[in-house]
Structure 1
Amino acid sequence: MRITQNMMNNSLLNNLRNNYAQMDKYMEQLSTGKKINRPSDDPVVAMRGINYRSELGKVEQFDRNMGELRNWMETSDETMNQSGQALSRVREIIVQASNDTYEEEQRESMSKEVDQIKNHLIDLANTKVNNKYIFNGTNTLEARFTDDGELIANPKNDEAVMIEVSEGIQIKANINPSNAFSEDLFTELNNLVEGLQNPDMSGDNFDEYLNVIDSHTNDLLNERADLGARMNRVDLLETRLSQQEISTNKIMSENEDAHMEEVIMNLKMQESIYRSSLSAGARIIQPTLMDFLR
């Protein structure tokens, strides 16, 4: 086959384009830090990257769920702590009232304080997190109690709110509100307010209220202990989720990130090849008529 000048020129141009394309590839890798920048660069790496990103997306969603779960739990724990302190103060008032040496005006002040504590407990029972009521079961859009301490929903909702924090693992976010904020508690507090205002009520009659408050306090403590056990498990799951996120990011980086030393070396080599191609091309191109006229 006869090799013409035109064939040599076309071959040279094709080789130059290929060399330039290779140099552009390494320049792109150097600027982006990635082995591939489009699926066509390496379909296998691209497909693995899609799977890793999907897995990382799940981990990040579980991490967001974990944040919401912890927010619920920590708010619930702090709210029950405040409730326990309030009940402790009520107990102190009852003990004081059982002493018949207090005058009518003093007992009236005690009744007003108990009434304010009751209102405070109602506010605590209607606590919201991210605009959701956390002590009304799965009915998170409605308050549990009225301002007078009466149940709004009937029947009451004590259902568990479950949040998925890992593949196939769900954790209960809320507590049983009937154990922490029983409607009977507010009824008993109302009765205590009336009893303190009754001058005919002797100190011995307050012993029954002590038993009632102690019973509610124990229910509150038991519910808080159950919440604490779940919070400990959440701590373990958070550590596991954090390790999973780090591991997935590492695998994804190993799959996609370019080895910069290798990229720089390949780029320098390709630049050398490109310059050599240009130099060789200058010798191959046929001399023009002007060259003979010099």
Structure 2
Amino acid sequence: MRNFLMSGAALVLISGAGFMVITKPQHVDAAAFAALTPDPAHGKEVYDAGGCASCHWAPGAEGEARDVLSGGQSITSAFGTFYVPNISSDPAEGIGDWSTVDLANALVKGTGPADEHLYPALPYASYTHMVPQDVADLRAYLATLPADPTPSKPHEIGFPFNIRALLGGWKLLYLKPDWVVTGPLTAEEERGRYLAEGPGHCGECHSPRDALGGIDRSRWLAGAPNPSGRGRIPNITPGGLDWTKDDITEYLTSGFTPDFDSAGGEMVYVIDHFALLPESDRQAVAAYLKKVPAVETQPGDG
């Protein structure tokens, strides 16, 4: 019996060690960023495509203050309340001393500069598609924005979700480099896929999630409960949205629907940023959405 218990204990230790090894924080290949020449002007486009400000501006910020990325907004979930961090240029409380590789690790791998797992309230499951040049350009643009010394608020998360090591297992399940919508796609549709599945992270809001908080890819963009508890985020597959490509492009430009209604809620901020992108990018996203497999809206989805 003693030998059996010792063998069992050894197996548990080995299994635990193996789990820690395969779920340890991952990092990008730093060499992929070494020879890049950052373009802050293009970084502004990446910033707008990702809607960085709409999450990271301070609660109640208006006008130019929305580019002071001091954080503080709350994100309520079944796992607790997450507070959006300060990503301003402040070197102590923000990310002013982060390198491009530091930012890439956070966006693409969900790994912080202290080699810690980041919570997927940061939509790195989408940002994992971002190419190195876009990350470098974004870092260059963020460096031009104001610094703010406001400390980031700690998350309010209970056990066991406050154990960051468990996020390594979550990443094994959900941090996938493959595209949801596969070809054949035109060059325009591929650009739209990159924007929608990557920096634009459309699926993070418009797709339902499973019990572990991972996106249900079988109902990609088919709508989901609004985290605020007010209504639902709509189905934007062809099974729930019968707009033309031009209709979608116009909506992403002006916020007006074909029925002369207008965008509401968080979508207002998405459109504010998307409207600043080249029109070709809005057309590309519209073309992509017409290629997404149709998923019918289920009874009760609203």
Q: What is the TM-score when the length of structure 2 is the normalising length?
A: 0.18
- Structure with bigger helix share is 1
TM-score (norm 1): 0.19
> Max radius of gyration: which structure?
1
Higher relative contact order (Cα pairs below 8 Å, separated by 6+ residues): 1
